[in-house]
Structure 1
């Protein structure tokens, strides 16, 4: 499974189709349903699907560990960050489960992910110390009606100057996205759709948002772990990783 590095640098993401197999994806869904049953949500009773989004805390369940150990994912992390630079293993987690609903689910808005908590906000800095990539694992099939995550292609190139101006401390991810020119949000959008077992691998500065409503037939099950890089990236041109190359490209206004 090849990774188009040039596309990653310019667009900010790559898609690993079939990164883990259908049986592993099905086992992940079983774990999620078991966790949801503890919250009174039953697979066979749609009357219990009363909330538009519910978080399933399935950390380190065996099927999630297997999905996170996908050879295609590990090879892509080595390629985009650099071997031995990121913290293994990739976190094995559950995530938000979105149920069919027309009501506003809350927490919808463009942002980038952070790498550390300051107060109640998730902060990051121009070197992205702490986060090397953001992954979106599809545990269920996700179509355009299933409230897929929306990415702004190329938006990661507009974030570095904003973070650089904030200095070593950086700023909250939502604050960085708020400082973008409105025209950036009018760029091409890509929705994280696909078959169970696909993984979207995104630059840490990718601007994205949840979407609503969910007009599909069943719940959408994903996770969104971050791949950690404790020391972050050099931004003086000396760092050979594609993640760093994109940051430098953005700092140089090549967007």
Structure 2
């Protein structure tokens, strides 16, 4: 894993973090959850909505997907050993995106928040509660499958905005809206890959859903947070790459 690349760009990719059989087992659970929404995998006529939230139970193949040694080693490297709350919840609410030209209703630049603030999820400059955001790919995701879009290096511009908001912080959407327009014109990356890949994002990575989905199969991906309840120390004494990136963003305006 390229640790310095993570500090610079805000994300790392763990290819083949879990195997194809585990990914297939996870898809079976997801399809079962979609049945309660009247969706039949064999009947494309039931794929009417561009996005459906599938609630998947914990354990089983999702626990296996989140428990691989390479993934856990990468997480511990990025947030610091002994910090994460195990296990990583690869299950839970999952926005399944279906092939469709229709707007899914949730596009817009934001960072992930960590606590409910009444109308949106909020976070603070110490990222209290969240160490990383993990994107688990349970299906193959190509450029036409409505992949999530990331602004490379955007996590370095968020810390001054959150610091100015004080200990309470602000919502993830509000933080992104305060960025200079030039930041959102930086190079972008898309969350694409094979089923079994996992993207690990800095908690301040600015990203958005995309549309339309022009592929032929549903996009299945979960996006849990990796919990770090106490957040990160920003006095320079925290050597973790996540903290280093926050301190770097506070210390200077990146080019």
Q: TM-score range by the shorter chain?
A: over 0.9
SS at match of 1:56: strand
Contact map agreement 2:154 2:183 (CA 8 A) in 1:
yes
Contact map agreement 2:157 2:253 (CA 8 A) in 1:
no
* Equivalence for 1:48: 46
Q: Does 1:223 align with 2:222?
A: yes
Could you list the runs of 5+ residues in structure 2 that have no partner in the other structure? none
Contact map agreement 2:85 2:228 (CA 8 A) in 1:
yes
2 CA distance for matches of 1:143 and 1:245? Answer: 32
Shift of residue 61 of structure 1?
Answer: 4.0
Deviations 1:145-164 (A, max 9, x none): 00000000000000000000
Contact map agreement 1:52 1:101 (CA 8 A) in 2:
yes
2 CA distance for matches of 1:13 and 1:43? Answer: 33
1 CA distance for matches of 2:81 and 2:71? Answer: 13
Contact map agreement 2:124 2:166 (CA 8 A) in 1:
yes
* Equivalence for 2:85: 87
Deviations 1:103-145 (A, max 9, x none): 1110100000011111121000000000000000000000000
SS at match of 1:219: coil
* Equivalence for 1:108: 107
Shift of residue 70 of structure 1?
Answer: 1.6
2 CA distance for matches of 1:137 and 1:89? Answer: 14
2 CA distance for matches of 1:19 and 1:254? Answer: 34
Q: After the TM superposition, which residues 8-157 of structure 1 pair with which residues of structure 2 at under 5 Å, given as runs?
A: 8-94=6-92, 95-157=94-156
Shift of residue 77 of structure 1?
Answer: 1.0
Instruction: Tell me the number of residue pairs that the alignment of Structure 1 and Structure 2 aligns.
Output: 253
Q: After the TM superposition, which residues 176-215 of structure 1 pair with which residues of structure 2 at under 5 Å, given as runs?
A: 176-215=175-214
Please give the TM-score of this superposition, normalised by the length of structure 2: 0.98
Shift of residue 59 of structure 1?
Answer: 3.1
Contact map agreement 2:90 2:223 (CA 8 A) in 1:
no
2 CA distance for matches of 1:43 and 1:61? Answer: 23
Contact map agreement 1:31 1:61 (CA 8 A) in 2:
no
1 CA distance for matches of 2:158 and 2:252? Answer: 10
2 CA distance for matches of 1:118 and 1:126? Answer: 15
